[in-house]
Chains A and B, each alone.
Chain A
Amino acid sequence: MPEYLETTVDKFLFKVAKDRCYSSAGVWALDLGNVVRVGLSDFLQQRSGDVAFVEVKPVGTLLAVEDWVATIETIKVNIELLSPVAGKIARVNPLMETTPEQINLDPYGEGWLCEIEASDWEADRVDLLDAPTYFTRMKSEAEEEAKKS
């Protein structure tokens, strides 16, 4: 179980897992040694709404950083997610086919999207945000959205 940074904005609690890196769009990347696991941050999944369908690019797909890796259809929006890491998709979470709501229920755990054999993880991670930096940005964004509503 990862440790979290947490904040409450309006009535919503947002968590940021400390053990991974984030793109500014809220896609996380977790180094598992031989692969990098990718998923949505808690803020991104809450803002997007309940997930109806997920389509992840198939195993074997070659990706550059910010290539389209998955599409998520929620009750509010369709989102194209961009990969935070370059490499080849090694595994797609089978739960995305059967129970995509795992993204909402467990965004940092069972709700991961895919695992990527990174071509140069050390280079890619430099451009990603660490958890405290993403947390600060996310909190600011959440507060801005709360002001609008």
Chain B
Amino acid sequence: MRAPKQIAIVPCSGIGKTYGSVSREAAYITTDEIRPGDTRLVALSRLVLGDEDARGVIADCPAVTIDGCKLACATKMVQESGGTVLQDFAVLDVYRRYRQFKPQGIAELNEGGQQLARALAEEIAQAVDQAMQVDREGQNG
């Protein structure tokens, strides 16, 4: 199976919700810092509005979705847009694995929220690497 050119990262759009903020922060860390070439951020709101560019990305690239609550809007919207969900992450499940990083705050996440977002981004990066079939250790060595 050929590796995709890029992976779409689709976070929750829950404005005013701490877990939504964690999901978006994790998406920014992934797409801007740790896997900028391999990933592409897609705003959920653009998918909801039926934006052609956003739907085009979803049609071309498998997606990693990040859901802030059990409604799982990001995952459902990608599926409804005809996209493929490579892996879906729920912030709550990630928090259960990193209880020391308690997220608080909305407009500005606390230190715990920032750390949780980074831990989540690292998990997303692993999923991206698997999909891209990239041996980063080999590249770096």
Contacts and interface: CB of A to CB of B under 8 A. Distances in A.
Interface of A: 50, 52-53, 75, 104
Interface residues of B, number: 9
A52 B19 CA distance: 12
Interface in B97-134: 99
B70 interface: yes
Contacts of B99: 52-53
B22 to A, nearest CB: 10
Contacts, number: 15
A50 B92 contact: yes
B69 A75 contact: yes
A75 B92 contact: yes
Interface of B: 17-19, 69-70, 92, 95-96, 99
B96 A53 contact: yes
Listed from nearest, the 8 A-B pairs whose CB atoms lie closest are A50-B92, A75-B19, A52-B95, A50-B70, A52-B92, A52-B96, A75-B92, A50-B69
A52 B91 CA distance: 10
A104 B92 CA distance: 13
14 contacts: A50-B69, A50-B70, A50-B92, A52-B92, A52-B95, A52-B96, A52-B99, A53-B96, A53-B99, A75-B17, A75-B18, A75-B19, A75-B69, A104-B70
Given A52-B95, A52-B96, A75-B92, 6 more contacts: A50-B70, A52-B99, A75-B17, A75-B18, A75-B69, A104-B70
